[in-house]
A = this chain, B = another copy of it.
């Protein structure tokens, strides 16, 4: 909506500024507003694996089916990083049979060269082209060599004020902005807000490196902000969705729900519903 409204506001302003106005017919108005709406397909929705930290693969699949979401960023508690080929095939088989698309692995922490190597080998075996990861600063360059060698993208994840490496999206962006185009970021919307970053601005500012998004809500735009159902917290999700449409984001918007983690189904469902509702309204 916003883009069309802004367009019309600008149009009115423009007309007003020129004082004498060309005659616009209804068709002209229609055609000027339609590109925005044509581009507004539903955003891609997924789940960040950490959401299911207390559940096994079968339970996680059941929850994903319940909310009708089929994209998952796989976390290592469902498939350890050092898994055998047989184990990888077994776990991937379960997800595939359930119609679930593993689109990324992560969040993977990389504190050594070996950990970087392992992460890229793991991603290759799992068959994804995206790692959501957290390399130590001194491993960013080495990670880039692995990105170049494998063609697998790395999306570095921000983790809020407590994070010594990447508290805010800017802390990621400034370190990768001049690197290989497959070096990018996963903006965690909740942690970004806790670190004082407006996600709708970060999405626009870092759009060229934005590969993945973790969606959630928080009670406060401060360090002490706690996880809460989306729509009940402080994050302006209509603005986030408008920003995603504005930059034509084609990645996943993956919920990472961190409240009631032992009984998360209602909160996940409410959050996914909320996000879908905003997307529906913005597309309408």
B68, A238: Cβ atoms closer than 8 Å: no
**A238 contacts which of B8, B270, B280 (Cβ < 8 Å)?**
B280
CA distance A110 to B281 in the complex (A): 39
CA distance A20 to B33 in the complex (A): 23
Residues of B contacting A17 in the complex (Cβ-Cβ under 8 angstroms): 23
**A21 contacts which of B15, B26, B267, B272 (Cβ < 8 Å)?**
B15
Least CB distance, A176 to chain B, in whole angstroms: 31
Least CB distance, A18 to chain B, in whole angstroms: 8
A278 contacts B by Cβ under 8 Å = yes
B5, A29: Cβ atoms closer than 8 Å: no
Closest residue of B by beta carbon distance from A237: B280
B12, A29: Cβ atoms closer than 8 Å: yes
Least CB distance, A284 to chain B, in whole angstroms: 4
Closest residue of B by beta carbon distance from A266: B269
Interface size, A (range): 35 or more
A91 contacts B by Cβ under 8 Å = no
CA distance A116 to B232 in the complex (A): 41
A284, B236: Cβ atoms closer than 8 Å: yes
Residues of B contacting A225 in the complex (Cβ-Cβ under 8 angstroms): none
Least CB distance, A242 to chain B, in whole angstroms: 8
Residues of B contacting A26 in the complex (Cβ-Cβ under 8 angstroms): 13
B276, A239: Cβ atoms closer than 8 Å: no
**Given known contacts A20-B21, A269-B267, A280-B278, A15 and B15 CB-to-CB distance under 8 angstroms:** yes
**Given known contacts A230-B273, A266-B66, A269-B267, A29 and B1 CB-to-CB distance under 8 angstroms:** no
**A270 contacts which of B269, B279, B280, B284 (Cβ < 8 Å)?**
B269
CA distance A238 to B68 in the complex (A): 20
B274, A67: Cβ atoms closer than 8 Å: no
B20, A20: Cβ atoms closer than 8 Å: yes
A275 contacts B by Cβ under 8 Å = yes
Residues of B contacting A8 in the complex (Cβ-Cβ under 8 angstroms): 5, 8-9, 11-12
Query: Which positions in A face B, CB cutoff 8 Å?
Result: 1-2, 4-5, 8-9, 11-13, 15-17, 19-26, 29, 33, 66-68, 229-232, 236-239, 241, 265-282, 284
